[in-house]
Structure formats: structure tokens, C-alpha cells
Chain A
Amino acid sequence: MIDRLVGLICILLGGGAIWHAQTLHVPFAADPVGPRVFPTIIGAVLLLAGCVLAIRPGRVELEFGTWPRALAVLVASLVYPLLLLPIGFIMATALLCFVAALAFHARPVPAAASAIATAVVFFLLLDKVLDLPLPRGPLGI
């Protein structure tokens, strides 16, 4: 069932790629092939593979563990880019690590301690040692 669904999605994606390739407007022809042919071929490969999978599906058992923990990490990851520039690398990273540490079964106090330590160490390593500028935030550190 899952494989049939995956196959169907591949057929749609492959078909979409082929359709998209045909809509490309090429202002000048630098080479006889142009930018259309390659995506068309790859789209066809995907479509064909999708058909094979949909016609001859295998058994796939979806297994999920304690997925709310994964969801917590995901939400923290999605919030992180939004906070990075406004509050700076150290605070945003500490927050991300705090949530992730809780998801990995840490107690709140050690989680907070390790999160802050991680953020500070990475800031020093990347910003100061390797000279890769990271967002400073309002604290200016």
C-alpha cells in the first residue's frame, strides 16, 4: 500500500518534471539540445520507476517510535532560523540545544547547562578560531 502510494507520487513528480521541462522558454540556442531534454529524460526515469513500484509493490511497514520527541526537535529546528538573527547565535543555539536535549531524555537543569555550554563553545570555535562570522544578537557578543 505504501509502495503504491510512493509509486503514484513518483509518477506525479516525474510527469510534473517532464511537463515543467516542456514549458521552459529558451531565448537562444547555445547547443542543439538545450535545457529541456535532460530533465525530460530524468522525469521519464522517475515516472517509469514509479510505475514499476506501483504495479509491483513490496511490503513496507511504517514504524514510528516516540514521534512527539522527533516533532519537538523539528519544531525547534524550524523556529531556530527565525530567532537566529534577532537574538543572536549563542541564545538561539542554546534554546535549540535545550529543546533537543530534553527530547533526548535529559533532565531540565543539565539540559540547560549543556545547551549554554554547547552554544558558547561553538561560537568561540567558529567565530573566533575559524573566523566564520556568526550573528551577534542584541548582546553584541
Chain B
Amino acid sequence: MDALSALLTGFQVALTPLNLAVAFAGVALGTAIGALPGIGPINAVALLLPLCFALKLPPETALILLAGLYYGSGYGGRISSILLNIPGDPGLVMTTLDGYPLAKAGRGAAALAISGIGSFVGGTSAVILMTFLAVPLARLALSFGPADYVALMVLSFALLGTMGEGKAVKTWIAVALGLLLAMVGIDGGSGVERFTFGSLELLGGIDFTSLTIGLFAVAEILVLAEGMVSGVVSRTGDGARLSLKEIRYCMPAMLRATGIGFFLGVLPGTGASVASAMAYTAEKRISDKGTFGKGDMRGLAAPETADNAAQTASMVPMLALGIPGSGTTAVMLGAFMMYSITPGPLLFTQRPEVAWGLIASMYIGNLMLLVLNLPLVGLFARLLLVPAWILYPGILALSYAGVYAVSNSAFELIITTAIGVIAYVLRKVGIPLIPLLLAFVLARLLEDNFRRALSLSDGGYEILFSTPTSIILWVLALLAIAWPFVGQLQRGRAPTPSEI
């Protein structure tokens, strides 16, 4: 079936009143939930999954709802990233780098607008690409072996080291700490307990929600309570509005980021977090004139566009291969299976109403989100006039409520606070938290692929460098690792004025 005529049948499914209403509910709720700190798309999707079955929704309707929650939260998540420096999920940590400085400089409204437009450009372009390239791209991703994934993930860590503020070695410390934290619990491959120290609570590992909340909410509130950071709640009213010129100025960055986001999103397992990190780094390399990290529009537009492009693209391998491209699409894969539908190459021919109805609904949903998010920017700006002593205790309470709602365990709150204290100390000694979080998220995949690769070679390490793709990625990673240290040596010989 031709892609366009298939899409047309998809619109016939997506435009029924029920599916339109469900798409709107999904994206609106997704934006709201995405805006809550620490509650990301995966929680939103997991929470609504039982509801879909309780309401006996048909499969395409349920998936339209869940997908709406997913990409809707990608729009909503930017709000707390930009205005409060608290990323709602790992795909959004890069949004804080330039978004928060912009908000601090009084341009919060403009930052929200450009990131909303970026989300729309990324999301919609990715749906268009998905329509035409779903099957061929899935075949390309299939050619990536485990060794290629290992190299790709090492490269993304190395890129963090070149881009993070402060010393590169501290980024590596953060990455190693994140990977070690992720290893706590039962090892999936062998059933052996690692780093649990005999604790029953640690058997299941450290929960991602607790880690995010601890790192970015509790620690933040502690630092804020000290009063070290002045004028923390960013005002939005006095700064200039977003101009058409600025949108045009950001357009090349958005288009590049769409490409990066879509490509990385399609690869199984590498989701929005790698995509937004790569897009930010690439844009910094291309466009930075010392303004990135201080509130450059392009530094905000690039990761936000890539984030949404990758979110949408991560559904491609889930639909076409049955391999989830991210944690959230893994939950959606579970939804498919509960309806006794097997995603994979046959899905597009056997259940076209599900596959194409879902894709068509994403065109509609992104349009709804653009309309929802641009006028609402003023409303979110007004939220910030709330005094600190209402806002921050509220954030703290909501963070703990979120952790409790996800875990149903008071003990998890103690772990969250403990992580918060550790993160507070790490911030004080200059160890960056973002690489720690990204490493924690990617750890499972990295180890799984590492072990899968070595299983294929029966323990021979040469397999990690055996394919052309992996060799290219390893060389790039080595360059990225060496780069900051070379810079350091040069500075060591001739200290720059800023260091003295």
C-alpha cells in the first residue's frame, strides 16, 4: 500500500469523534503531567494504561491516548525545565542549559514560545518522516549490532565530557557514579544481587523517579533554601517577546536537530536523552560564539526539537520491528500485547487501522499541542508570580507525592532525600549531575549490549571494534575524550586570564 493512501485511511480512523476527543485528552493531560516535576511520560503512560482497559477502549483508541500522553508530555516537560531548572525527564536535561538562563534573564515567555515551536517542528517533521520512512529506517536500525550500540553510548558520554562546565574528569566521575548506581539490584542476565548490601529494598534497584526527584528537586530546594542563588524564580514579564526574526534565526538549528533526533530516536534503545544531548552538542559546535549555556535561543530550540523528534521516532522501531525505542514505548509495547496485537513488519498490513490510525492521530495531536501551548505561555508566566515560600514548599510536596504515588512506599521517600543530600554535596564540589542522570538511564542498555556483543564473540573483546560503524563511533569517542584534556594541557602551559 502506498504511504499516502495508507495515511488517508489512518485519518479516517483518527478523525472519528471518539478518537479526536481521546487525542485531545491525551495531549492536554500529557502537557499537564509533563509539567509536573519528576513525573515524566513513562509515569503518565503507565498510569493511564489500566484506565484504557477499564474503559474497554478499542486498541487504536487506547494507543492514540497513550501516544498523546507521551508526546504531549514532551511539550509540557519544558515548562519546569525552563522556569525552574528542574527537568521532568532525562530527555529534558539539555533544555535547562539555555532555557533556564533565558528565563533568569526575563525572557521566560520567549523561551517557552521558541521551545513550543521547536517541539512542534520536531514532532511534526518526525511524523512526516515516520510516514514515509518507517519501514526502510527500521531496516537500517536493524543493521546496528550490539558493538555499535556500546560505541555509540561511550561516544555520547564522551560528548558530555567535552561540553560540560568545569573539568572533564568530573564528568567522567559523574558518568561512573551514574552507571554504578544503576547497577544496584538484581542483575537481569544472571540473577545475581549487585551492590544491594543485603537490603531487601535495594533488590529492585534505585527507582528512576526517586533519582530524578532527588537530583533535581530535593537538591535544588536545599540549595535554594540557603539563599545562595538570588532571584531564582525567573520572571517572564519584562523581557522582549519572541520575534519572527528569532524564529527564523532558530530554524536551521531546529531542522538539524530534527534530523539528529529522528535518527537517534529510531535506533532501538537510544531515546530522547541521547538525542537532545547530541543535538545540543552539535549545535554548540556549529553555532556557539560563547553564548551557549548563557541563554542562546538555538541552544534551547535544538534539544527541545530533537527531544520531540526522537520521542516520535522512537515509535518507529516499536511499530515496525516490535522493539521499543525508549522506556515509554516499552510500556506502549506492553499495551499492544495486552490487546493481543504483535507489533512488527506485519502490523502495517494486518492491522492498518491501528498502525496508520496512530500515525495520523499524531499529526492532529501535534497541531492541538501547538494551539494549546502557545496561548498558554502567558498563563505559565503568571504562575511564576507565586511567592517562593508557596512555590518551593509546593514543589517539594509534589515531588514527594509523585515518588509516593509511583512507588507506594515511604521508604522510597527516604532514598529520594538521601539522593538529594548526595546531589547537594556533588553540586558543592563541582561534579555535574546531568551526566550522572544520563549514565543511570543508559546503564542497562550499555551493559546488555556489551554482554550481548561478548556473547556473540564468546568473550573476545575484538568484537567491540569489528564493524565499520563501531570503529567510526569509537574514533569519534576517543577524539571527544582526548579533546578536553588536550585543552587542559595547553592551558597548563599558558594560563588564560580567566583562570588567574
Q: Is the CB of A104 within 8 A of B410?
A: no
Closest to B452 in A: A31
Q: What sequence of 0s and 1s flags, for each residue 78-120 of chain A, a beta carbon within 8 Å of any chain B beta carbon?
A: 1011101100010001001110111111100011001100110
Q: Is the CB of B393 within 8 A of A60?
A: no
Q: Is the CB of B172 within 8 A of A49?
A: yes
Q: Is the CB of A70 within 8 A of B222?
A: yes
Closest to A64 in B: B226
Q: Is the CB of A81 within 8 A of B410?
A: yes
Q: Is the CB of A49 within 8 A of B228?
A: no
Q: Is the CB of A78 within 8 A of B393?
A: no
Inter-chain CA distance A63–B454, complex, in Å, is 46
Q: Which of B391-447 contact A (CB under 8 A)?
A: 392-394, 396-398, 400-401, 404-405, 408, 410-411, 413-414, 417, 420-421, 424, 428-431, 446-447
A residues near B454, Cβ cutoff 8 Å: 31-33, 37
Check A118/B397 contact, CB under 8 A, given A60-B429, A60-B430: yes
Inter-chain CA distance A47–B167, complex, in Å, is 16
Q: Is the CB of B189 within 8 A of A101?
A: no
Closest to B386 in A: A114
A residues near B223, Cβ cutoff 8 Å: 70
B residues near A62, Cβ cutoff 8 Å: 428-429
Q: Is the CB of A96 within 8 A of B226?
A: no
Q: Is the CB of B389 within 8 A of A35?
A: no
A-B pair count, CB < 8 Å, reads 205
B371 within 8 A of A: no
Q: Which of B160-203 contact A (CB under 8 A)?
A: 166-167, 169-170, 172-173, 175-177, 179-180, 183, 187, 189-192, 194-195
Sample (11) of A-B pairs whose CB atoms are under 8 Å apart:
A32-B459, A39-B180, A45-B176, A62-B428, A63-B428, A70-B424, A97-B393, A100-B397, A106-B387, A106-B390, A133-B408
Name B's A-contacting residues (CB within 8 A): 47, 51, 166-167, 169-170, 172-173, 175-177, 179-180, 183, 187, 189-192, 194-195, 218, 221-228, 387-390, 392-394, 396-398, 400-401, 404-405, 408, 410-411, 413-414, 417, 420-421, 424, 428-431, 446-447, 450-452, 454-455, 458-459
Q: A38-B446, A81-B413 are in contact. List 8 more A-B contacts (CB 8 A).
A: A35-B192, A37-B450, A39-B194, A66-B227, A78-B417, A81-B410, A104-B225, A118-B397
Name A's B-contacting residues (CB within 8 A): 2-3, 6, 10, 13-14, 17, 20-21, 24-35, 37-39, 42-43, 45-46, 49-50, 52-53, 58, 60, 62-67, 69-70, 72-74, 77-78, 80-82, 84-85, 89, 93, 96-98, 100-106, 110-111, 114-115, 118-119, 122, 126, 130-135
